[in-house]
Amino acid sequence: MNALTKAMKESPAAARVAPFLIFLLLTFAQDSLGEAGRYWIYFGKTLVGIWFIWMMRPLVQEMRWSVSWEAVVVGIAVVVLWVGLGGVALKKVDVATAWNPFRQFGEGTALAWFFVVARTLGSALVVPPLEETFYRSFLYRFIANPKFETLPLNFFSWVPFLISAVIFGFAHNEWLAGILCAAGYQWLVIRKGRLGDAMAAHAITNFLLAVWVVWKGDWQFW
């Protein structure tokens, strides 16, 4: 871990990429300990994500929350698209094995609600800084120029805009909504010249999506 910390301090790219990749690897490992284990791994992954964000704050200056009316509008619009397009462009999800703690731990049980709250807070407060820093601060600019730090956040080019949006989209089950979502978040970064608005929009989207999932029982979105 000391080596990782050292690498993040010495390399602007590592500071933005390593936390995201480790978080992603933990996501892939969620089902490795069985049905019940996936929820505990998610909780552990969230704690790891919080630790990474704490490490990144002094190293990634643009990773600062910022709320604007544009961020609120984009955040709400994206969740509407996410739910509305889910049935059209949703990778096949087995509802019987979807992320549903009520099925695993019992309807209305304290443990089930614990994991619902953990997922809601993790997706709304931990995922946005990690993903936005990787996709919008690093990947978008790196595609345009490997010396990505020489480009301002409000830099625009169609090639990295489209490529990074497609990569983001296909990293999610809801691929079409994901592409449009990435485009909206990237537009915010370019318009405002900062990352915080995209982080806020992402947080709003994920929080409202969590409310929808639990309220409607649409567990395939999780």
Residue 119: name the closest of 208, 46, 22, 37 by CA. Answer: 46
| Other residues' Cβ atoms within 10 Å of the Cβ of residue 57 | 12
**Within a domain: residue 103?**
yes
Task: Collect the ranges in the chain with pLDDT lower than 50.
Answer: none
Contact 153, 162 (CB under 8 A): no
pLDDT digits (tens, 9 = 90+) for 90-140: 665 566 568 899 999 999 899 999 999 999 999 999 999 999 999 999 999
Q: Is residue 31 part of a domain?
A: no
Domain range for 109: 63-221
Residue 79 belongs to some domain of the structure: yes
Answer yes or no: are the C-beta atoms of 173 and 181 closer than 8 Å: no
pLDDT of residue 68: 97
Number of domains in the chain: 1
Does a structural domain hold residue 16?
A: no
Q: Is residue 74 part of a domain?
A: yes
